[in-house]
Amino acid sequence: MKRLLIVLTGIMVLLGSTYAYSFNGEFNLNEMKIKTSTTHSPLKVGENAVTVEIIDAKGANIKDAQVSVYFFMPSMPAMNYEVKTSLDGVKYAAVIKPTMPGKWAADIKVKKSGGEESKVQVDFEAR
């Protein structure tokens, strides 16, 4: 019984250390679906290309919004950056550059044409 407990504890520690927050996700926001993706998962310290896709309630891509990505390190509030996106087909593209490894968060701000600004937060890790 004691060995089983030791083995299970070891597995939990191992799984916990390999888990990483990913920038890739899908979020519901004010009758919109926001899909975020990146080429690196987890993100790396330095340049990372990220995309944000915005889909309306009818399933159509929204291509006339203003989208920005404000990313920051919650444990170090001075570590914060905001980047604008550019429309690339049906997705909004940006490059974010985490400056050090650790846990980060990104507020993705979306302002539809003639509407108010909404935001969704994505937690991610840089290595």
- Asked if the structure places residue 8 within a domain, the reply is no
- Asked if the structure places residue 86 within a domain, the reply is yes
- Asked if the structure places residue 80 within a domain, the reply is yes
Q: Residue 83: its pLDDT value, please?
A: 95
Whether 16 has a pLDDT exceeding 80, the answer reads no
| Least confident segment among 10-14, 45-49, 60-64, 83-87 | 10-14
Q: Residue 62: its pLDDT value, please?
A: 94
Per-residue confidence at 15, pLDDT binned at 50, 70, 90?
very low
Please report, for residues 6, 10, 74, the alpha-carbon distance to residue 16 in angstroms, rounded to integers and kept in the order given. Answer: 15, 10, 20
Instruction: Give this prediction's pTM.
Output: 0.80
Per-residue confidence at 21, pLDDT binned at 50, 70, 90?
confident
**In this structure, what token pair is assigned to residue 46?**
């330095």
Number of domains in the chain: 1
In sequence order, what are the residues at sequence separation of 6 or more whose Cβ sits closer than 8 angstroms to the Cβ of residue 4? none
- Asked if the structure places residue 4 within a domain, the reply is no
- Asked if the structure places residue 53 within a domain, the reply is yes
**What mean pLDDT is predicted for residues 69-98?**
94
- Asked if the structure places residue 1 within a domain, the reply is no
Whether 91 has a pLDDT exceeding 60, the answer reads yes
- Asked if the structure places residue 83 within a domain, the reply is yes
The overall average pLDDT reported for the chain is 86
Q: What range defines the domain where residue 92 resides?
A: 21-126
CATH code for position 61: 2.60.40.1930
**What mean pLDDT is predicted for residues 43-51?**
95
- Asked if the structure places residue 5 within a domain, the reply is no
Could you give phi then psi for residue 58, rounded to 5 degrees? -90, -5
What number of helices (H) and strands (E) belong to the chain? 1, 9
